[in-house]
Structure 1
Amino acid sequence: MEKHMEDDVREDPVKRIGIIGVGEIGRAIVEGLRHAGGASPEIFLSPRGARTAAELSERYEGVQICADNQEVVDRSELVIIAVRRQGHHEALTGLKVDDDKIVVNLMAGVATDDLRRTLATGAPIVRAIPLPAVRERRSVTVTCPSHPVVDALFEQLGGALPVTDETAFNVFSALTGTLTAHYTYLATLTSWAAGHGIAPDAADRYVRSLFQNVGRSLGDGTRPLHQLAADHETPKGNNERIRTTWFDPANAAALTKALDGLLTDLQ
């Protein structure tokens, strides 16, 4: 059986981080690492996403743009790969990644074995799902498998949630696919209110306030989600009416079916 570098455990914090694919999540990671100042690793950015990379390198000391992806790898201890799933073979084929590097794969639906074949490396590969809120160090990041250096990195950015296998990891990955549906739900509420004569800016302000308060209640980890729902509902009240008439069994089944379909694709 081929032996990979997962067995080689580093204890020192990583000092040089490379990011290949500087999109929204790459930007958020850089901003999170530089959040509130203080010491942080050197960061090397690929030229992919040139405008964002240039902005970050101008704004932050110790953030540099490399000539190509190979230079990112060569100058880094830990390499974050955040390119699009559809073009990852083209972007990564031919890179030389030494076994003493650590690779963090942010590409949804790209399994570890697939990426290892593309890179032809024995380096440890860890999958992760950071969300944009890492820029404020407020997002829990799922990792697979647990690795002390990678978990420590994401602990700085809001917390790490290691899982043991890619089957579980893909379930968490599917959950992230519900984010924009939530924003669209809020936008639909705002449009409904505007359709009943409420000024759009007033409707927007109120819906934002309403659900920001819901978000704050989620910080109470002592109550499970079903209990939070019950605590915000009175028998035969307004909330119960909307929950039971709109979010009915058929609606719940449709959501489950959509998630199951996404999970199948991710696997």
Structure 2
Amino acid sequence: MDVNIGFLGAGAMAEALIRGIIQARLVQPERIWAYDIRAARLKELEQRFGLVAAASREELAAAADIIILAVKPQNVEAALTGLQVKGDKLVISIIAGVTLSRLAGYLGDVPLVRVVPNTPALVGAGVSALAAGARVGQEDLEKALAIFRSVGEAMVLPEEQLNAVTGLSGSGPAYVYMIIEALADGGVRQGLARPVALELAARTLLGGAQMVLATGEHPGVLKDRVTSPAGTTIAGLAVLEDRGVRGALIRAVEAATLRAGELE
């Protein structure tokens, strides 16, 4: 891409995107700008990646063609109030709970994309949902998708579905970690060493997820293929159904979705 990309805010997700952009060779490191109120953090990223540390948010907004808003939600007012952004620049926000209309209230009539990423982006295995504002054209949308595909997968959805995305894929890694922990505990209870049980549990979830994505088959079909009559798997599944695991996960997504709506 023949653009300068600027990051307003330089936390963990911003760093993951910077790394992904460089590894995907979307732009050269010297075309990436960053600004953060923490001077030491900016210096760290400058040394690590060879990017340009902006002296102010105004300098960053002037230099960047694509501005990625990566500040914490509680700092959004201080970060965006009074910030002048020209109408030909693309602004992408990963600020949790901040709607396109609220962003427009701060920045005016500029092309806006709101994104819900998730933390596996830190290891290049994220999934992000993008919602585009009215002024975003196809070319700008493709640029935004390329940035987030540098750290995993990305899709475009209507903004009204982003709270559900937060409840599922945004909060979902925590549900997965709990499942991995519980499976590993079960293995330890049956005599496996903790490191062995943890690796078996994590790789089992990883392999199962890859099977779903690679085959395109319904998880129920894949589940039935593992489940022999009167075998070990059906014995375990009966316990999960009896304890309401399926319903608990559905309710977890629902609760997180509702909470996401309350935070807007």
User: What TM-score does the superposition give when structure 2 sets the normalisation length?
Assistant: 0.82
Aligned match of 1:218: 212
- Amino acid in structure 2 at the alignment position of 1:64: V
1:231 to 1:206, Cα distance in 2 relative to 1, 3 A: same
Aligned match of 1:186: 180
Aligned match of 1:106: 94
Give the drift of 1:226.
2.4
Question: Are residues 1:208 and 2:194 paired?
Answer: no
1:209 to 1:161, Cα distance in 2 relative to 1, 3 A: closer
Aligned match of 1:70: 58
1:86 to 1:36, Cα distance in 2 relative to 1, 3 A: closer
Q: Which moved more, 1:89-98 or 1:101-110?
A: 89-98
Structure 1, gaps ≥5 residues long: 1-12
Q: Tell whether the 8 Å contact from 1:31 to 1:135 is kept in structure 2 after alignment.
A: no
Aligned match of 2:161: 168
Deviations 1:183-242 (A, max 9, x none): 122122223333444322222233233333224323314312222222232233333332
Give the drift of 1:132.
4.2
Q: Distance in 1 between matches of 2:2 and 2:149?
A: 13
User: What TM-score does the superposition give when structure 1 sets the normalisation length?
Assistant: 0.81
1:90 to 1:239, Cα distance in 2 relative to 1, 3 A: farther
Q: Distance in 2 between matches of 1:143 and 1:197?
A: 45
The structure carrying a bigger helix percent of its residues is 2
Q: Tell whether the 8 Å contact from 1:15 to 1:40 is kept in structure 2 after alignment.
A: no
Question: Are residues 1:238 and 2:226 paired?
Answer: no
- Amino acid in structure 2 at the alignment position of 1:182: V
Q: Tell whether the 8 Å contact from 2:184 to 2:197 is kept in structure 1 after alignment.
A: yes
Aligned match of 2:255: 261
Q: Distance in 2 between matches of 1:67 and 1:39?
A: 21
Aligned match of 1:24: 12
Aligned match of 2:129: 142
Aligned match of 2:44: 55
Q: Distance in 2 between matches of 1:49 and 1:217?
A: 43
Q: Percent identity, please.
A: 23
RMSD: 2.6
Correspondent of 2:71 among 80, 83, 86? 83
Aligned length: 252
Q: Tell whether the 8 Å contact from 1:57 to 1:64 is kept in structure 2 after alignment.
A: yes
Aligned match of 1:3: none
